[in-house]
A and B are shown apart, each in its own frame.
Chain A
Amino acid sequence: MVGLVLVSHSSAIAEGTAELLRHMAGEVEVAAVGGDTDGALGTDPERIKEAIEGLDADEVLVFMDIGSAVLSAETVLDVLEPEHKQKVRLVDAPFVEGAFAAAVLASTGADADECTEAAEEARTELKLYNEE
């Protein structure tokens, strides 16, 4: 089973995205990690690490929003024990749309490759179509 960790500067964004995923994708392991150590806007590597370690999943996809969320997630990979590190990958995709696509596939039992591919495609997926 693929699980997701959502890392945002804002706990409201992380929690809200997790709520959306659970509602739309149903049975999927999602952990939301938002805000810094004091609950202010920012990211908190320690909680990112704990979320990865605590997720009940064989493979873990991490989604990050902006700036230091990416640096924090990358740094956590450096300090994870090998048993956890080998099941984690960071996904380069839009935060909400990418996590949503991955979660829907994860809920169908897709593997991490398939979920990642779907998340990455969310970057170029058009929302508005020009009438030809």
Chain B
Amino acid sequence: MNKFYDKIFKYSLQMIVIIFCVFPFYYSVMTSLEGSSAVFEPNFFPTEINPKNYNYLLFEHNFPQTILNSLFVATVTVSISITISYFAAWSLSRVNFKGRSMFLFVILAISMFPQIAVLTGMYQLFLNFKDFYFNIFDLRVKGVTSLLWLCFTYTMFNIPFTVWVLTTFMKGVPKEIEEAAIVDGASSFLILRKIFLPIMTPAIFTTAIMAMIAVWNEFLFALTFTATNSDRTITVGIALINGTIEYEVPWGSIMAASVIVTVPLVIITLLLQGRIMSGLTAGSIKG
């Protein structure tokens, strides 16, 4: 009998955790599927399925543009920072040189930096960049200035994180694998391309996904450096969804927008569950 209660007790603890973590997400999915009147009747299960909120966002609102902007910024940022970090991670994990710990410590310190500490300086740089950019390119491509600038700043803020995680992952690769190639006289570049790349692909992929989520979710810089409807990213886009009448908040549309940007992340996270867990751990505790 005791064993039976023990089992029930464990299942209920697990259910509490699951409900706690999933309920807000479930509830917003449900709200997003309801029409205007049903939204304003609290209930636990949908009373109707109405695509109205999604139709509005996807066809009458500039929301698709913000998704494209975020995708653009995330892709550029992640590709650049992963490439730079991959080579740096090799140096920091496989080669012994003076000042290596110091370098890692500085990277850790920078990753803990408050973003606001550099915001004023960044804004001044941004204005200079805009001037410079406008002088070189003609009017047609002016619209992407803010987005290019966001790519630049996000790359900078992602690099300490990606370097740190990739270094930890690369430390885990057995020394023997590399030694054989060194004996054969392969160059470091060749070793990184032919030997490490296949082994590291899952780790690189995990790091890239985590960096991508960080970019996707960023708010402070996106809010500061984007100014028009055409260059907003999704976080700012959602923050600015407002009703036509003041004080009337369009909760259905806000929830639909939230669901659109969240569902891909949730699916990726669930598929890569184990990998993301090891990536998160690698980012904080070293190997």
Whether chain B is bound by chain A comes out as no
